[in-house]
Structure 1
Amino acid sequence: MTYIERYLNGETKEVYKEITDLGQEAFYADNFTQIDFVLQETFKRVAFNLNIIYQELKNIGYQFTSDIKYDWQQPLLPPDPNTEILLSELKSKIRERGHIPLSLEYFYKIVGSCNFCWDWGVSPVILWEGADPIDIPPIKDLLEMVYDDYDCEDILISGDYLQKDNVSGSCYNIELTATPAVDSLLHGWDIPFIEYLRLTFKNCGFTMADQCNYESLTSFCNTVKPKLKEI
């Protein structure tokens, strides 16, 4: 069976482990054709899951940003129509430091962006404090953080769970790789980006939900989880 056949058959983790083990061989033509299909399916599922979670959060009256002035404040945005151009510009700016992983590229091409953070400016009492809602900025905003002659070995993707709760914290940064890679580490979690997304959907959009003790969050996850697709 091919990678995509096995992935569709439920071997999601096993397929990605084998893809990772391929290293640079993942980019050989015969392998990459299959891997491209897997990545496309993965991020279609990511988009599907985010939409399900967004709708369910709206159903319970979750306080998303109410006074939206910038794209990064939007709970969900589809891919920017200029994504390919913006990705090329991003790659040009970081070329001396490394490569962004394909996982991040496909996120921007297929998913777009998301921000499920609570609007603590409007409602200071955060519904599920410490739950760490998913928050990945639009490609335009990511690009603005990458200056000319960029000299860092990673790129800031999101504030950590403390920043999201209006507490001084740190950041989640995605690692630039020395050679092209299908995926790379998300520093702050120290797991690959796709594994981070997998963990986040296991916790229904809130990466640390299983470390929190809120009956309403448990109830939310019990309602949402059966509707989500494995990635």
Structure 2
Amino acid sequence: MRPADLAREHGLSTQAVRNYEESGFLPPADRTDAGYRVYTEVHAAALRAFVALVPAFGHATAGQIMNAVHDDALDDVLRRIDRGHEQLLRDRATLDSVSRAVQDLADFEPVPEPRSIGELARRLGVTPATIRAWEEAGILVPAREATGYRVFRAEDVRDAELAHLLRRGGYPLARIALVVEQIRTAGGTDTLGAALADWRSRLTARGLAMLAASARLHEYLAARAP
């Protein structure tokens, strides 16, 4: 098989296949007398495994798993896969806690006013620098005293609580800013509910990708067995 034969199956370039081999994601290919690479069904199985691992565990971890396979470090392979499943389980637990928090938003109790940036940071367990980053991203819009100090009122604390929950879920600041702004202007949590549904869908997709990747990796391990 030529590099183009492997590349075509996955919509890759032949250079990408060569790069994967050089990075150790594929086993070394034999060469013809003229120096051309010759791939086999074992290489095809390796590429299928790597391509399946990327959406499941990320490009870096997928590469580390394939490197460990080729180093015959099976325990390391399994350990990295276990960590991915552990992270998915933690993400699911975080999503569940956020979902429960959303249900309680209607009963949000206003906090004593005003609150300083330090007080808000302590309430959330973050640093003041984090609060300032959220403000720069448009997530928080605190008022200012005549002295220039920030004043975080009840609605600001509510927005900060939401931002903190979504950040734990891995949402980028720009996306959080959009969600919080829509909640702020609409006065409801429908947008947040949609964001959580999207988050749950992404976790489900990742879990299914892990299943598919495990099957492909198992096929490759069987193909390379002596």
TM range (shorter): under 0.3
Rg larger in structure: 2
TM-score by length of 2: 0.22
If each structure's strand is expressed as a fraction of its own residues, which one has the higher value? 1
TM-score by length of 1: 0.22
